[in-house]
A and B are shown apart, each in its own frame.
Chain A
Amino acid sequence: MCPSEVSDIEFSLYRAYQARGLVVWGIASEDDVETLTTFRDQMGLTFPILFDGGGTVHSSYGQLRHDFGTRYPQDWIIGPDGRVLYFNDEYDHEAMTAIIEAHLPE
């Protein structure tokens, strides 16, 4: 994912909506923990960075769509009921904000 998109997730989504209950997790399966830690510190990210070392979680999500392999970004929004609300393989700040706003308490 482009650094600017990760940063936008941090500043425009996480910091904006965390207090109202939004959960944001970064998931990486193609970098080692040390690289991820350096990246996290340099970018100033405060949301959890989950390490999917074997790529198994990534694969289980990958099978839900046929036409992406290991392209990035892959953004998902899971609703409060556990169902998938949104998927995109291009970062779309507006669309994500609209969905988040619709599923958070006032």
Chain B
Amino acid sequence: MKSPLGVCLVMAALFSWGCDGEDAPNHESPETDATPVDPPPGDADAGMTPSPVVPDAGWLAAAPLGPCEAPTPLGQEPLVETATLDLISATGVRPLHVTDIQRGPTPNRFYTVGAGGLFVIDYADGRLEVVGMSSSGGRGSRGFDKVEPIADGIVLLTSRNRGFSVYDTSTPENMNALGSLDIADASGLAYQAPYAYVLTHTGQLKTVDLTDPGAPTVVHTLDGLGNPWEITIIGQRAYVADNSLGLVVVDLSTAAEPALGAAVAAAGSAQDLDADGDHLFVAVGAAGVEAFSLVDPDMPASVSLTDFGASVVSVSADDGLVWGANQDAVAVADTRNPVAPLPLGIEPTDEWAMHLHADGNLAFVADWGQLVVMALDRDTPAPAASVDRQEILVVEGTSSSRLTLTNRGGAPLEIAGLSVDDPRFTLTVEKTDLAPGDSAGIELTFAEDGAPVSASLCLATNDPGTPVIQVGISSSQSGAEVGIGEIAPDFVLRDIDGNSHQLSAQRGQPVVLAYFATW
């Protein structure tokens, strides 16, 4: 399903993660042992000579993705693994295939499930430790797909094959099932006392009464979903990530009788979701993570789509950050402005990152046969590229123009590539490494031949927020001899609240006029 944002995706997420995407969500990923993932490419050509820099040298060869794109990630990796727990070594249980991790109401207690069963993990002093497992031997029959801790000592579990179960985990070293229901193709679930809302991959939402956890009872079945994977409850509404339908609103105003609300198409295969503030972040497979505004809670509105590398299968949002697991790696973006999330970092995991739970600057990752805790260092200084011109005018008679690049950030800036898409231009640059606060001149020399100019200069750096800067180059025949420096035409217009505004009344202050359309 095509996102309405179209070409704007380029503006929203310029940072290219560099991992190849896989398309369909697949929790039954290869049975093979941990597949090492290639580390991201290292620094681009750091040995560029200061001058002259000819178009197409070095950088274009290093960027097979397109004519004006930054090489994939340069420089900083602010995501650091701070704790690892190899579950196979710790418990002797094979295979594990951990596919879900949730945090329990007990502080620092986590529950994971997979083919190896239910594990209870405590996180203390920066270390992970297994404190309980649901079974101690035998294969095949103990696996679960999803877990939802609902109270101290009680978790809910679903399995595509074995349905729905309620487990008593009050004594983690000796856990037992309290009750179960045969719900075929059980999928994601959420709880709001006294009901569990359980999805099925065949398009249903079952309402399960847990007033007596030992005797769970289905009290309602809602049909009409497609292939739902996850559900999250916000007050009187639930939101469902549905592979076929997208993001579906479910009305819970009558808690025992959910009703279908609006279904909003998503940019890809929706399979997980999490809320932060008044936005929902939805994992949409190869398309990445899509943010929806819940300003109108009955009609979520898509506001951005961010590339998270490979196919995103799990998303968790907290405190202005959204984290995604894409099976190869964990990626994180700053979402304080949800309409334009800023990718911060990506870090491959050793095995298959299937699910994660975010808590501030930490992510707890279910990584197939192990658990990993990743920490984001938000104070890592970054370089910031800034140029002093947005357009270069080539005026008849002048053969060279100058552009100044400044590093406004807190870490060294490197020029990774520089080119103009018009062979009449040659470029030289003062230097390619800029310390914080430093500037470098870029000189364009033009071999005039009388024909008009309409070209683009492309500058690629290791600035993670703006890795590529494009500067337009045109000749005076394109009509640029009027404009800059002219007195702006005066006008009086009303705004949509009915107030009048006159341009010439703003003398003494700079005015930004942003012409736009809502499409």
Which residue numbers of A lie inside 8 Å of B, CB to CB? 1-9, 11, 13-14, 21-31, 33, 35-37, 39-43, 48-52, 57-58, 60-61, 64-67, 72-88, 90-96, 98-100, 103-104
Whether A94 lies near B386 (C-beta < 8 A) is: yes
Whether B340 lies near A27 (C-beta < 8 A) is: no
Q: Given B466, B510, B514, which contacts A6 in the complex, CB threshold below 8 Å?
A: B514
B12 proximity list for chain A (CB < 8 A): 2, 4
Which of the listed residues B495, B499, B508 has the most CB atoms from chain A within 10 Å of its own CB?
A: B495
How many angstroms from the CA of A64 to the CA of B481 in the assembled complex?
9
How many angstroms from the CA of A51 to the CA of B485 in the assembled complex?
26
Sampled A-B contacts (22; CB under 8 Å): A1-B516, A1-B517, A3-B8, A26-B516, A27-B513, A28-B517, A29-B515, A30-B519, A42-B301, A50-B495, A51-B494, A67-B474, A72-B515, A73-B515, A74-B514, A75-B512, A83-B488, A88-B390, A90-B390, A90-B472, A94-B469, A104-B510
Using A43-B339, A80-B509, A98-B386 as known contacts, say yes or no to A64 and B517 having CB atoms under 8 A apart: no
Whether B479 lies near A3 (C-beta < 8 A) is: no
A33 proximity list for chain B (CB < 8 A): 496
A52 proximity list for chain B (CB < 8 A): 493
Whether A4 lies near B510 (C-beta < 8 A) is: no
Sample of 19 more A-B contacts, CB < 8 Å, known A2-B7, A98-B386? A4-B340, A6-B514, A13-B512, A21-B509, A21-B510, A23-B510, A25-B501, A27-B513, A27-B514, A48-B501, A73-B516, A76-B512, A80-B508, A81-B507, A84-B486, A87-B391, A88-B391, A90-B390, A92-B390
How many angstroms from the CA of A83 to the CA of B507 in the assembled complex?
10
Whether A36 lies near B390 (C-beta < 8 A) is: no
- Say whether chain A's binding surface is mostly helix, strand, loop, or mixed: mixed
What is the interface size of chain B, counting residues whose CB is below 8 A from a CB of the partner? 60
How many angstroms from the CA of A23 to the CA of B513 in the assembled complex?
9
Whether A24 lies near B483 (C-beta < 8 A) is: no
Using A4-B8, A23-B512, A67-B479 as known contacts, say yes or no to A85 and B484 having CB atoms under 8 A apart: yes
Q: Given A79, A83, A95, which contacts B389 in the complex, CB threshold below 8 Å?
A: A95
B497 proximity list for chain A (CB < 8 A): 48
Whether A49 lies near B496 (C-beta < 8 A) is: yes
B7 proximity list for chain A (CB < 8 A): 2
How many angstroms from the CA of A51 to the CA of B500 in the assembled complex?
10
Interface residues of B in 436-489 (CB under 8 A from A): 466, 469-470, 472, 474, 478-480, 482-489
What is the distance, in angstroms, from B392's C-beta to the closest C-beta of chain A?
12
Verify if B398 is at the interface (C-beta below 8 Å from A). no
What is the distance, in angstroms, from A76's C-beta to the closest C-beta of chain B?
4
Whether B480 lies near A57 (C-beta < 8 A) is: no
Whether A58 lies near B480 (C-beta < 8 A) is: no
Q: Given A2, A6, A14, A40, which contacts B496 in the complex, CB threshold below 8 Å?
A: A40
A73 proximity list for chain B (CB < 8 A): 514-516
Closest residue of chain A to B484 (Cβ to Cβ) is A84
Whether B483 lies near A60 (C-beta < 8 A) is: no
Using A2-B12, A74-B515, A94-B387 as known contacts, say yes or no to A67 and B485 having CB atoms under 8 A apart: no
A86 proximity list for chain B (CB < 8 A): 390, 484
Using A57-B493, A67-B479 as known contacts, say yes or no to A78 and B514 having CB atoms under 8 A apart: no
Q: Given A42, A75, A100, which contacts B513 in the complex, CB threshold below 8 Å?
A: A75
How many angstroms from the CA of A90 to the CA of B472 in the assembled complex?
10
Verify if B46 is at the interface (C-beta below 8 Å from A). no
Q: 8 smallest A-B Cβ distances: which pairs?
A: A66-B479, A2-B8, A1-B516, A7-B339, A4-B340, A74-B515, A95-B390, A48-B495
Whether B486 lies near A64 (C-beta < 8 A) is: yes
Using A3-B8, A83-B488, A91-B11 as known contacts, say yes or no to A27 and B479 having CB atoms under 8 A apart: no
Verify if B136 is at the interface (C-beta below 8 Å from A). no
A100 proximity list for chain B (CB < 8 A): 510, 512
What is the distance, in angstroms, from B459's C-beta to the closest C-beta of chain A?
11
A7 proximity list for chain B (CB < 8 A): 337, 339-340
How many angstroms from the CA of A57 to the CA of B491 in the assembled complex?
7
How many angstroms from the CA of A16 to the CA of B516 in the assembled complex?
21
Chain B 373-411 per-residue mask, 1 if CB under 8 angstroms from chain A, else 0? 000000000000111111100000000000000000000
Q: Given B482, B485, B489, B506, which contacts A57 in the complex, CB threshold below 8 Å?
A: B489
